[in-house]
Structure 1
Amino acid sequence: MANLVSVKTLDMVNGEITKVAYDGAAYERVEGEAQIGDIVLVKEAWGDQNVGEFFVVTYTKSGISDQIVGMNGNTCEASSYKCRLKIFRKIAAATNPSVEERVTKAEGEIELLKSDVAALKGEAEYKRIGKSEAQAGDYVKFDDPPSYLTDKEYYEIIRLDLYGDPQIIDDEEDEFDTYGFDFEVYRKAGAASVEAEPKPERLKVGDYAKVVQEYHHQNGEIIILRDRGSERSDTFPFQSERLDGTTGDIFGHRHLVRATDEEVAEAKRATAERKKWAEIGRGVGEYKVGDVVAYDDPEWFQNSGIGEVIELMDGTPCVLATDSRGSKVPIYVSTEQVELVTPVEARFDR
């Protein structure tokens, strides 16, 4: 197929060509299926052949899953894995536009002017940054993404994985790994409200942090940051310390966010609970027959009191205690409704 070397770019938006000129006529970017006489820009093809070149559409026909677009005797499947095309269609020149057409055109120009003014003021502006600068809260934008993503939509980065690849939520509300896909990274900047927001303080040794990506299966864990000493590096500056005092894994800034006071308090409470159970050789909520427990069961016992665990079913204790009517009955009570008073190993009556 013959490449059109005389195509001139007339307009671009966010780095994307939206209008071109060829052979004395203007062509604008359109979506959908191509038509004979359109101009197409090859964005992706097998072996990168003809990528970045323009061609005239000479025929079209239906394919198995998409439209087949012919260009000077050659074929290529539009908007699919075989070949990705950007379609431009000739703009019809209106020699005597109606009043309605002139009004519509003027309204469109006004909206464009408003958009330009907003961009100058920095409202809703996205600044393109390098992929190595990406962090949680930045955005990615795809060119010809898979079906569960929208072309040119800004997707917020929820975190980076161990290798620095952005993780986002796709259109189907599922987590999506960007590894292997073509995208650019953007940062929201320029808007007064964004600029006014205080910049988060960079994490340092001694801070409490939360692991924000799966790394040695610690996603969500609260840790204390410790210095790695002579083994410190710009990529992995921290040695972590778990809240129980044991040494954890090695982390870098991209793996972590600052933990809130509420998260730290809850993590400390959970750590103390694990320690308390570990001192008697059990996991949290691990009951044994013979334990004395306090219970609160408004549904079956219809009261609260003290009882004895006489049986276990899949970890759920059956408590023998006096109910609200004065009868001593055995009832299975969820572990959330009981609290260990005396473990069986510490009972003096045994």
Structure 2
Amino acid sequence: MAKLSVVIPAVDVMVNGQAYRKVDRKAQAGDIVKALSRSFDVDTGAFYAVEVDASRGVFYRDNVGSRRFRLERTDLHEVYAPVAAAPSETITYENAQYRKVDRPAREGDVVMITEPDDAEYTADEGVSLNQPYLVMRLDSADDPQIMNARGKEYDTAGDVFDVYEKVTRPSVEYREVKRYANVGDTIKMVEDADAGGWLAGDTFIVTSVASDKAVHFTDNDGDGRRRSGTDDYVVLEPIVATTPTYVEVKRKASVGERIKIVAAENAHGKYANGDELTVASDDHLWGEAVRVNEFYQPVLYDREYVVLEPVPAQAIAKPKRYAVGDFVKVTGNSVTHDYAEGSVVKITETKDNARHGGQQFHAETADGERGNWLVTNDVEPATKAEFLAAKAQTQRKPAEPAFSVGDTVKLTVADGGRPCYGWGRVSNGDIGKVAYVSSDSISVDFPKQRGWNAKPEELTKVDPRDAFAEGDKVRLISGGNTSGLHDYETGDVYTVLAPKSPVGNGKVKITGGGQPTGYATPDQLVKLTAEEVAAIQKEAQEAVKWVAIGRKVGEFKRGDIVSFTRTDGDKGVGTVEDGGSFDSAIGVRIGAKPYDGEKYRGVYFDEGDTATLIVPVEQRFDTAA
């Protein structure tokens, strides 16, 4: 049974402790709907939970679990949306903790939309309010791009949302100390920066210290910053672990020794593999078994554990010390460095740093760049051969061309200048698409001239939507009746409402289809030329004439007077003897009446012949009524 048990107070509907409120919009996942009329397995006045199908959209399950779609019928359903509680400061997403922050979203953050720019569009795209979504990337306008329930990208432009950043648990525990920082220390900011660059709680590595003890570091925006005194930060000093290091030994344990469970078999819910326990006594009654301090029953068989033997401090290997000229592979990023993890680099400068494995150092990357400070804990030894291989790979990588096939470009010749290859039929400011790229010239398809050649310096990349303007006539060349284009047919002509609608996920907003608005990507549209628009208008005017006499366009009847031109050069004026349409052919007798005259001509429209209606038979005065 899918019907919900609800409690209805004065205003809201309560379901399992969650309040829902009636809303005037389409249903979306997470809502509930109230059935307004009875049908098979659906009760009038009952509430049902809304789910989403990736291909068919939203639905609910009736009393027997069958899916019910058609939730857009407001005469059949009322929609109730969950009443959002006060935003939590922390949330859990994909088994990770996130905390709410007051800053623009970044890649890897989680956002929760609280107020959509267009609620209907957001619901249609399968995006729910007050639900966490991972930021996949930021677009050119720094708007977060998230993934909707259908696995497609959704643009949050215009939406109001809360931002949450991942809370990372450091592998090393630190204590906060109020003192002057030294080079290599990690400092934690205690207040937000007045001019941006960090928030309270952000951490940075000190790169240098001035004579007045002012510290220098690089902020979140990549800018070098200086801070005097200790009012703005505290120093994070790692807490040195006192837990001894152990090795695992397979033998009989003695009283007081630590053991680790590796093959639990008699646990009864008291212990599991990986647990560490302390031996309390040897159990002679059970034979090869021990009892532990943590519980009396059950006993632990000797085959279930290994003994943890402490390793003397002098036996613990010290970390390797690196020298200038050594090669290392970057394996981590505990100090917010700017080297790519997995890359091999060459050390160019070293300093002692006891808090991060013993050393910190600058290094040269395979492409010759020098980064900021690395530390011992974030690297492992590498070889010169690995570095040279990476360097050779970098040198083989071709430089990216300034323009690529498919780019949208604008002709931007300096005032008073002239294109290298002449103007042709284009004008300064025209927008087209790159068709071919060579070493010193670009071929562009402009609306007025295809294959127009230009020098790279004469072109500027622009947003593909800049090729359109409000009121333009466009033909939809792909994507008809897909998401955002329902009731818009591929091949039909529509009108641009807004080339850069903030709701359209980087798309062009159009109108003229079965729905009031549609959203198409620029590559799904072709802008019509003035000649094409004029031809369409002429066809529309021609259609009005045919409708006025009660006929379909191109419908000829016996007795019509027409002029005709055939592909063999024969032409004339006559009377239709055999009716037809533009889809087939007509027979014309040269004369005023059918069967009156010697010349009969077949006019075959599918072979290129043409005919023009002069007088329809219904309007002729020379024929009997």
TM-score, normalised by the number of residues in structure 1:
0.39
TM-score, normalised by the number of residues in structure 2:
0.24
Q: Which structure has the higher relative contact order (CA within 8 Å, separation 6+)?
A: 1
Q: Going by fraction, where is helix more abundant, 1 or 2? A: 1
Q: Max radius of gyration: which structure?
A: 2
